[in-house]
Amino acid sequence: MEFEESGIGEECGVFGCVAAGEWPTQLEVAQVLSLGLVALQHRGQESAGIVTSNGACLPIYTSHKGMGLVSSAFPPEALLKLRYGNLGICHTRYSTTGISELQNCQPFVVDTLHGRIAVAHNGELVNSCALRKKKTREWDKAEQRLGTCSV
C-alpha cells in the first residue's frame, strides 16, 4: 500500500544530537541541530525550535523557537544562547492541527511525574483523546491542543 493511500504523508521533521565525552565538549551541539533543521526544512517551513540541555541529573534546558524558515528563526544570537548544552532536539513544523503561531512550535519542555523532559513529535497523535483520559497530570493547554501531552 502506498503511503498516500494510507493517509501517511511527510509532516514535520525531528532531529537530535548528543555530544560524547567530558563537558565542555568540542562539538557545538546547537550548530549541529540548526544544520539538521536546514536539512529537514522541506518537511516543514512554518516554524522551528531547538532545545538543548546539559544532560545532568537535574537538567537545565535552554530553548529557542521561531516562525518561518530556519534562517530567519535562528539568528546568530539565538544559537549563542543554546551553546551550553551537550545534547538537544529540534523540530521543524508543518501544521496539520492547531493554528500557526509560536506557542505551537516544538519542542516543548514539560514537567512529568519523572521530571522535566523536552519532547517533539512528527505528525498527529490520532489516539490522543483516548491517551489523554489515561494521563495522570495536567499539562499546558498548548500541548493539549497538539496532543503532545499524551506522549
Cite the active site residues: 12
Tally the residues of the chain. 151
Shortest CA distance to 9 belongs to which of 94, 91, 92?
94
Q: What is the DSSP letter of 127?
A: T
b (16+ CB within 10 A) / e for 32-51:
bbbebbbebbebbebbbbbb
User: DSSP assignment, residue 41?
Assistant: G
